[in-house]
Structure 1
């Protein structure tokens, strides 16, 4: 063999390696996600039979806030818009339900749910029209102003809203065939509404609408070039967000049996936004984790220090965001990805 032939043999490329079998992360992750949801639902149905009434009430309020944060997540996490007035839409749903039940005797409780959600949807649609021309800090200030002036406005219409004293209402009573205690019945009513809200939001985000909202969030110019109507989707994002908040406000009235302007101050809107950021923007379980934060962290802060609960609350937010910059849901996803998988 000549030297030239020998050199060619040495320089001959090695045969290509067999392609590695891709890890089944996508389908497996989706399958395990549904398994986790099924287990979570099973635990949710089992919990009220094992807990004392006060803890059942706390879980009920977690579900109420989860529905409200689901709408805020749709607006902030998926559409990329900012809102500091989500508590105002929550209040609109609560007061719509309270007024219907207080002024119309015999009004069925289930009828108030679509009515409260519809009123909040129309208000969000009306608010979204001027807001679609704003962004960033300007939009945040406008939404904050809505949350600030709502409570004084409710106090001025005393004959309708009860003024500063609010409205006291009867809670839905469990039917005799259910065999449930009142707190358990309210819990399961709220659970049904929460599951329906999550399914509706999931279907919405997997449709063409969801893809348009994500395009709007990532790059408005590119979305407009691709044919996304920015004004329409920005307005609808506010309307859908308000609809979920209105439905949550309706269930809040069922559970509490009382509404007053002092229950819907600007602090509620800020706490909701903080809870969603801590839970995880744009994630499936972010609203639920954020609802746990909204429900339990203020009370924990109060127990730690009665004199300065706000300081403890702020420090807890800073600590969580330092450990999990993408929220608790993002932290859980990162930890799951680190689990070794079998090839």
Structure 2
């Protein structure tokens, strides 16, 4: 009893106490923050540029995850808001706007357009809303070509505002990295707070059953409008980051093929997961780079194969891989504990093998009577 009273309290499964786990999480967060802040100072320029592009599309996938992964609403036009945010940023920078004003304008204008679309489309469902969102990039490409005074037409437009200032002592790729890191970190922290709060619970209820949501006093319509608008704002922020990284945009930025690639990245990374959005952004950038290095004709095929493999083997995306590995490990340890040869359920009731079956005695007496 004395030993039990002096030992630290542990969970039933033998895990570390809750305060210890909290300090482990804090230490892990601090370590990750230090690595992210120090990485561009030691990595080559091409590695920094790759990380910058991952951050750009991770924010876009995160916005798509909010509306599809958490709310269950179809959105096949997220790339439209990315392109819109890039064009608004380019227009603001070329007309002397402050970089902060350009960022806010990109988010607000993309959010306003998303709100208008959501007000009309949120009442629809299934195939209808899919068609509405598909129309966004399909209409956006020719519209960007026609509005040449704003977009630069088919030639596109450029805006240089993310070069490192002299006082920073940094190279351009390092300065761009820190811009993307600040905006992306803020976006992910806000999304985490959103999905873990009351709005996240409302998203989950609407996704599970709209009738139940209505009975609980949650409006499915306004919840969908909110989720779609937030996703549009994230798309505008991603467009700002895109222009900071590439410093150029064109109607090709809004093409429907990119929107499908964003959707595939969300599914492969993990729908309904904040970390899965980061994995999806890494997939969007890294896999095409690797496959293009092997064979450019292999890129599309490889992406289709990876998508099918993840859908069949990891329906919850790559973010669920550690959980699946732990589950398989527990099954393996359970089998090893029984020696790998479980005893048959009726073994305890089997008759001894050295006794003759009960039918042999009547057969022997019948032979003696015949003789």
**What is the aligned partner in structure 2 of residue 287 from structure 1?**
277
The structure with the largest alpha-carbon Rg is 2
Mapped contact 2:93–2:161 kept (Cα < 8 A): no
- In structure 2, C-alpha distance between the alignment counterparts of 1:38 and 1:64, rounded to whole Å: 23
Task: Using the TM superposition, give the Cα deviation of residue 337 of structure 1 relative to its aligned residue in structure 2, in angstroms.
Answer: 6.2
**What is the aligned partner in structure 1 of residue 344 from structure 2?**
none
**Structure 1 segment 105-254 matched on structure 2, within 5 A:** 105=96, 107-254=97-244
Give the paired residue count.
320
- In structure 2, C-alpha distance between the alignment counterparts of 1:21 and 1:319, rounded to whole Å: 37
Once the two structures are superposed, residues 164-187 of structure 1 have per-residue CA deviations (whole angstroms, 9 ceiling, x without a partner) of: 001122132323332211110010
Q: Confirm or deny that 1:70 pairs with 2:62.
A: yes
**What is the aligned partner in structure 2 of residue 5 from structure 1?**
none
Q: Confirm or deny that 1:50 pairs with 2:42.
A: yes
**Structure 1 segment 256-275 matched on structure 2, within 5 A:** 256-275=246-265
Mapped contact 2:99–2:161 kept (Cα < 8 A): no
TM-score, normalising length: structure 2:
0.81
SS at 2:274's partner residue? coil
Task: Using the TM superposition, give the Cα deviation of residue 34 of structure 1 relative to its aligned residue in structure 2, in angstroms.
Answer: 5.1
- In structure 2, C-alpha distance between the alignment counterparts of 1:199 and 1:249, rounded to whole Å: 19
Mapped contact 1:171–1:256 kept (Cα < 8 A): no
Give unmatched runs, 5+ long, in structure 2. Answer: 1-9, 331-371
TM-score, normalising length: structure 1:
0.87
Task: Using the TM superposition, give the Cα deviation of residue 308 of structure 1 relative to its aligned residue in structure 2, in angstroms.
Answer: 4.2
- In structure 2, C-alpha distance between the alignment counterparts of 1:184 and 1:137, rounded to whole Å: 44
Give unmatched runs, 5+ long, in structure 1. Answer: 1-19
- In structure 2, C-alpha distance between the alignment counterparts of 1:291 and 1:250, rounded to whole Å: 16
Task: Using the TM superposition, give the Cα deviation of residue 29 of structure 1 relative to its aligned residue in structure 2, in angstroms.
Answer: 6.8
**Structure 1 segment 9-24 matched on structure 2, within 5 A:** 22-23=12-13, 24=15
Change (3 A) 1:36 1:216: farther
Change (3 A) 1:170 1:191: same
- In structure 2, C-alpha distance between the alignment counterparts of 1:26 and 1:148, rounded to whole Å: 54
Once the two structures are superposed, residues 61-120 of structure 1 have per-residue CA deviations (whole angstroms, 9 ceiling, x without a partner) of: 101111111111111111111111000011111111011112x13x22122111100001
Task: Using the TM superposition, give the Cα deviation of residue 138 of structure 1 relative to its aligned residue in structure 2, in angstroms.
Answer: 2.1
Task: Using the TM superposition, give the Cα deviation of residue 26 of structure 1 relative to its aligned residue in structure 2, in angstroms.
Answer: 10
Change (3 A) 1:268 1:281: same
Change (3 A) 1:339 1:31: farther
Task: Using the TM superposition, give the Cα deviation of residue 207 of structure 1 relative to its aligned residue in structure 2, in angstroms.
Answer: 1.9
Once the two structures are superposed, residues 270-317 of structure 1 have per-residue CA deviations (whole angstroms, 9 ceiling, x without a partner) of: 001100100001112011000000011122222232234211221122
